[in-house]
Amino acid sequence: MKKLAGKTAIISGSGRGIGRALALKLAADGANIVVNDLDEAPAAEVVAAIKAAGGHAVACTGNVTAEDFGERFVQTALDSFGGLDIIVNNAGYTRDAVIQKQSDEQFQAMLDVHVVAPFRILRAASEHFRVTSKQEAAEGREVIRKIVNISSMAGTHGNAGQVNYSSAKSALIGMTKTMSKEWGRYKVCVNCVAFGFIETRLTKPNDDPATLIEIEGKAIQAGVPAAMLGALKTMVPLGRAGTPDEAAGGVYLFCIPESDYISGQVMIVGGGVSL
């Protein structure tokens, strides 16, 4: 039996990069997947790949910062698969600048995508978790559900030029620890994975066309200055950036039954970096 057979997972930002790798990994272990991306094409590609491999998936496209997105995301899982067992808050991007060059809008944008959006998604799931866990307890069953919030070493240690991103990712750690205490009674484990240097479009040189992200018609320049990339690799004891599959592996550990008694924790997936 596959470890996640019969489980349903919703993964924000799962049309590309780490989210895509995680969606494929959870699906391969038996989970039904609700795939999310800003754009329809990447989400549809992941859904098709999961189905081609014999799995089950549907898409819920759109911007996670929309006020109604959390409710729509959760309801897609309930309508499509009849339940919800795993939530991974993964969607996000960077908008770097030193503080004197950073606008209020630039700062707020990171809070919206990395803090407010996960809050709304978890709030949308709260009633389902409360009611379902109460029914299961009445039947004498204990069913463990999982939340994994995706943070960053910028949130655990800070990073120059990322006061907005670092602040948001740090806030997500506070959310994780609080929700682990609130939802323990519902048998929900809430944990956080903080990534180090992982190969995604957000860590490509910022003059690479792939780092230009369009969000609702607005072009956002992500990426890292090329001169910094070599230095970043030398800071990693393993001597290289992690792959999306390796990053997804860290999240996977918090989704499987082996982590059913782990909650409120922050795990760094960074190739041995310890600052």
Query: CB count, 10 Å around CB of 72?
Result: 15
Q: What phi and psi, each to the nearest 5 degrees, are found at residue 30?
A: 105, -5
- Percent of the chain at pLDDT exceeding 70: 98
Burial of 139 (0-12, 13-18, 19+ CB in 10 A): exposed
Cα-Cα-Cα-Cα torsion 38, 41, 43, 45, nearest 10 degrees, comes to -160
The answer for residues whose C-beta is within 8 angstroms of residue 72's C-beta and 6 or more apart is 60, 62
pLDDT at 227: 66
Over 70: is that where the pLDDT of 275 sits?
no
How confident is the model over 51-76, as a mean pLDDT? 98
pLDDT attached to residue 233: 75
What sections of 163-263 are H helices per DSSP?
163-182, 226-234, 244-253
pLDDT surpassing 80 at residue 153: yes
Q: What is the mean pLDDT of the chain?
A: 94
Q: Are 14 and 36 in contact (CB under 8 A)?
A: yes
pLDDT at position 170: 98
pLDDT for 184 equals 98
Q: Which residues contact 230 (CB under 8 A, 6 or more apart)?
A: none
Establish whether 186 is a catalytic residue: no
Residue whose entry in the numeric block shows the structure tokens 């996000």: 92
pLDDT, tens only, 194-241: 999 999 877 777 777 777 777 877 777 777 777 677 777 778 999 999
Question: Over the stretch 239-255, which tens digit does the pLDDT of each residue have?
Answer: 999 999 999 999 999 99
Of 165, 186, 252, 261, the active-site residue reads 165
Q: How confident is the model at residue 261 (pLDDT cuts 50, 70, 90)?
A: very high
pLDDT tens track for 74-125: 999 999 999 999 999 999 999 999 999 999 999 999 999 999 999 999 999 9
Determine the pLDDT at residue 214: 77
Contact 194, 177 (CB under 8 A): no
Per-residue model confidence as pLDDT tens digits over 33-59 = 999 999 999 999 999 999 999 999 999
